[in-house]
Structure 1
């Protein structure tokens, strides 16, 4: 079942530049009506039918169940009559979760916010009513020169989130934006557009972040990143965690009872995931970094459930049950991230992999290594690779995404081909044995899939491949080898692994496995176990990666330092310490 909806309900002004304090007079179109029928009965029918079907047909109908469950409760395009709130009646600040922007193109960028005067309550305190939100984009943070304005509808069906795809902007330009609902004005965000597609851009600075468990500490790294001079931020997964958060905020050590009990349970339902995003986005450091920079996001496992693979969850639950949970998680993810309508999920499916460009300097092929992968081999444990894990039929990306990636490389004109993705791509031996243990959740558990990707890069003539990774809560710098067990073999690219923002708590400069990993993996050139982010500067002739770390996250306000820096010369993909 495929249902399409117009979500970006917006009036845009492409008129002349305007001097003043902003335009707030645009009127929104009448918002559509809502259809909430048939969900539970269809769910019951398909579950009953599934017992009599083969696995392939069974899974397709399970996905259809999730699609029906999560596409009936949406605004129907073009209809009228939905109950709408008078914005002037919003008594408390509705912009408690801040603003965000993302996926910059040469002429457009996505703007995001959510109306939630009571963010820790189901529905956010909006009484289930739609509301009109005004937005404006300006050249300056005082909004003296406004270049675009419009109005969007915050629908209760999308938890009062707003996604505005602002077009008609100039390439390679910084902009400021804000929202208004009634008498309330949001904080100001800063964003930017990408250079023109054929522009020979000379520089790009971006940050890579991952793994921000709220219960493991403060988002201090995000506060420092908000103050850093970067063009974009790439979030490569584990934006939130599904685990319970107690009333003290876990390792944050709030006074007992600070957080409501609604967070002290694992996320399973759509409401659970929505509330968990509200908890995370209420954090002032996360709000600050979103307001400061546009984000390009992709997920890993914890946005849904630990170490899931396709339709298989960690506990071996029936696929029909897990796909309903996955549909809830994917819906909440889209609602709460600055993503376009092209990423709007249909039930338990959401196409998140996509391609962005920074002129001809960089091509970003953003991957999804969770939704389409084969189940982990050997029970998802640390294991010596063998026939099960090395089965050529196994895939990390799915065939369609794999073909899309390699075809995109064949037509790439970029100096740097950057692949943001989730789990360790390079070989990572975990001990010093001749047949060593490896992670079956990483690409080491899908070696045939990795071989096909690298063969595709070689056949496409990719000279400057840079893989960006998260997941493991440490910072790594790898050289990607043609034959990982032969240190003298050709270097095909580099892998930069961003440590966690908080996950794993404070960490250590040299974890207990440091000596073993460095000896077992000659292509591993850097390993640090503290929290932080990676800042990467790309130029026409060189890339530089700085591993930025904080000393602690279980207490707020730790300073940030550079733990290590490496340069990569264009056309010579090796890591040189700086």
Structure 2
């Protein structure tokens, strides 16, 4: 089948020097030097579209690939009014360290159409998949029409990828009447099947927010953990914790080979952000969970961040420079909604009280402590002051609302969530009030349960002003099947009167926004440790524009 249509300007993919060299160097040079060398190499590569010094890639080729290279599917992300990012990664042998392509550079054709049969092709082009970026492709397709549906695909030789469906955002400032989104998080492969993604692929939503823990660094045994495979055996390369670039690339190959996850990506554009497990559990900035040196951990973080970008539908602006990447960003849906996507891992202060549940105290309440870093905090508050959107939505990782674990005083709270960074939370809350944000909605991942909160001016006074709402989207798989009422359900509901809902089962959020109200549905699956679970809406809440607070739908 020929790819036809109007040719866009050829697109190239950039790469930087070999990561083995950078990982070794990171242990012997200061962090600033590490970042400077890496940033300069990446900038040179994007400027020249030529291999960086020391690259050993073979000449480009267009075909001669004997097996399907599209084993990891396709994806799209970060829709703008005139563009969308489309992604794939070539891997005819997905569980091989090099994906089965070695050091080959491979020319890939792509096309975008307004119909699923590709009769009306809008744009087409060619790009090169480089081994230095695991043969991934990130095509920023520009010149598209606002608020429009598109279909896309890739071709290498005789191989044609699955068809992806995507869309652009409405024109900036347009009076968009409504939208529907979904939010997901936490998909530990070894904990069960991606039943939630299978149902999400069938939802009528405009975009999906992935709020972190797309990947888990923990070992996956030959049976796939709780999946208990009897018809396949996973190779030993997965039965170890991820620490190197090769490890993280292979783990993404395992996750992305799941047909339900591939289906969700093919049907909807994703807007992604990371949490901790994409690198290591509960890391904080340059501080590792188990006390390895900052130099060693930053080398690991550089590998994790690089593999994350390679495997997600992200633009060149999010390309890591060594262990740093600008992942927080802002998108809009006409004048209806502004989305401020946060990164609460990369810039945070280390957790107080050795990251154990603890009552707030002088260590956790130090005004200098931050969850976002100063630059991201200024960016967020400045964006709110400039916003003219009806809804200001803050997709992020860890619980913002106060969450007491005990009925006794002083109650313990999580040192890994905003409760462990109360001065940081107070500054953000003050910024929301100062900006006059009327319809503030926070979307959260991390906790493997579904919560619905009223955001209070004073969480210890239920009569205080309600400033907005927060919803946690439970997990796709992490934690196994879960339970409708976890053992601490009664304690949490009594200790936190602003908590209006708590459910421990798996699933996702579905959110419908219009200019008068927002409705949030908790979509819950019947189970994930066996394939084939069903989906249902187990709770729904409405928050009215101009009148923050939750009401049962």
Q: Same fold (TM over 0.5)?
A: yes
Equivalent residue number for residue 159 of structure 2 = 184
Distance 1:180 1:482, change over 3 A: same
Alpha carbons of 1:38 and 1:577: their partners in 2 closer, same or farther (altered >3 Å)? closer
Segments of structure 2 that go 5 or more residues without pairing to the other structure are none
1:475 maps onto 2:450 in alignment: yes
By how many angstroms is 1:543 displaced? Answer: 0.1
Q: How many angstroms does 1:255 deviate by?
A: 2.3
Which residue number corresponds to residue 4 of structure 2? 23
Matches within 5 A, 1:207-286: 207-255=182-230, 258-286=233-261
Residues in 2 aligned to 1:149 and 1:397: alpha-carbon distance in whole angstroms: 39
Answer whether contact 1:222 1:289 (CA < 8 A) is retained: yes
Does 2:58 correspond to 1:79? no
Change (3 A) 1:383 1:62: farther
Give the CA deviation at 1:406: 0.1
Q: Is the 8 A contact 2:184 2:509 kept in 1?
A: yes
TM-score (normalised: structure 1): 0.91
2:440 counterpart of 1:465: yes
Helix, strand or coil at the partner of 1:504: coil
Does residue 433 in structure 1 map to residue 405 in structure 2? Answer: no
Residue 419 of structure 2 corresponds to residue 444 of structure 1: yes
Q: CA deviation at 1:258?
A: 1.0
2:525 maps to 1:560: no
- Contact 1:101/1:111, CA 8 A, preserved across alignment: yes
The answer as to whether partners of 1:66 and 1:348 remain within 8 angstroms in 2 is no
Distance across 1 between alignment mates of 2:75 and 2:453: 32
Tell me which residue corresponds to 1:197. Answer: 172
Indicate if the aligned counterparts of 2:5 and 2:121 stay in contact, CA closer than 8 A.
Answer: no
**For the Cα contact (< 8 Å) 2:109–2:127, is it kept in 1?**
yes
- Displacement, 1:259? 0.4
SS in 2 for 1:89: coil
* Residue from 86, 107, 114 that aligns with 1:111: 86
1:64-112 Cα deviation digits (max 9, x unpaired): 57768x9599687233795235332001000000000000000000000
Deviates further, 97-106 or 21-30: 21-30
Change in Cα spacing, 1:346 to 1:33, as seen in structure 2 (3 Å) is closer
Specify the alignment match of 2:495 in structure 1.
520
Matched, 1:363 2:338: yes
Match of 1:15 in 2: none
Q: Is the 8 A contact 1:119 1:275 kept in 2?
A: yes
Contact kept in structure 2, 1:136 and 1:148, CA below 8 Å: yes
Equivalent-residue separation in structure 2 for 1:30 and 1:485 (angstroms): 55
CA distance in 2, matches of 1:83, 1:120: 22
Of residues 75-84 and 501-510 in structure 1, the stretch that sits farther from structure 2 once superposed is 75-84
State the distance in 1 between where 2:486 and 2:264 align. 28
| Match 1:488 to one of 463, 485, 501 | 463
- Return the alpha-carbon distance in structure 2 between the equivalents of residues 487 and 172 of structure 1: 41
Size of the aligned set, in residue pairs, is 549
For the Cα contact (< 8 Å) 1:281–1:287, is it kept in 2?
yes
DSSP 3-state at the match of 1:309: coil
SS of residue in 1 equivalent to 2:162: coil
Of 257, 262, 277, which aligns to 1:302?
277
Within 1, Cα distance between the matches of 2:310 and 2:271? 15
Work out the CA distance in 2 between the residues paired with 1:475 and 1:32: 39
Superposition CA RMSD, Å: 2.2
Aligned residue in 1 for 2:363: 388
Q: Which residue in 2 is equivalent to 1:143?
A: 118
Q: Does 1:551 align with 2:526?
A: yes
- Separation in structure 2 between the aligned mates of residue 285 and residue 46 of structure 1, nearest angstrom: 38
User: What SS class does the counterpart of residue 515 from structure 1 fall into?
Assistant: helix
Matched, 1:60 2:32: yes
- After superposition, what is the alpha-carbon deviation per residue over 1:328-354, rounded to whole angstroms, capped at 9, x for unaligned? 000000000000000011000000000
Residue by residue over 1:11-54, the C-alpha shift from the partner in whole angstroms, topping out at 9 and shown as x without a partner, is xxxxxxxxx974189699697997747964x76666446xxxxx
Could you tell me the TM-score, scaled by structure 2's length?
0.95
Residues 1:48 and 1:220: Cα distance change in structure 2 (over 3 Å): closer
- Find the partner of 1:408 among 383, 405, 416: 383
1:341-390 CA distance string (max 9 Å, x none):
00011000000000000000000000000000000000001111100000
Q: Does 1:497 align with 2:468?
A: no
Tell me, in whole angstroms, the C-alpha distance in 1 between the residues paired with 2:524 and 2:332.
28
CA gap 1:34/1:390 in 2 versus in 1, 3 angstroms: closer
Contact 1:32–1:82 (CA under 8 A) maintained in structure 2: no
Q: Which is worse superposed, 334-343 or 81-90?
A: 81-90
Instruction: Structure 1: state its 5+ residue gaps.
Output: 1-19, 50-57
Query: Counterpart of 1:88 in 2: which secondary structure?
Result: coil
